[in-house]
Structure 1
């Protein structure tokens, strides 16, 4: 499984962009990711758009 070619250029992405990229790579909808993680879809949507402030409780 180590057949990956090293990227020529590194890009910076926000946490929200990273979540969206991984979610789409795995073929998951926001709804399914919400079900799997227990994070409400109403929280995932703005997180992926990098809108709002999020903290830990």
Structure 2
């Protein structure tokens, strides 16, 4: 998208759309405290980046 002399980038990111319970394979908490450190649930991030 162009806005004068600036470039604009509109973006969106959807994480864990199915809201599935998940754990990080590389986290130390997965091995030392199983079931106590799940990854975050469903989330959406929307942003606007501008370069001029």
- TM-score by length of structure 2 reads 0.21
Q: TM-score, normalised by structure 1?
A: 0.21
Q: Which has the higher contact order (CA 8 A, sep 6+)?
A: 2
> Which structure: greater strand fraction?
2
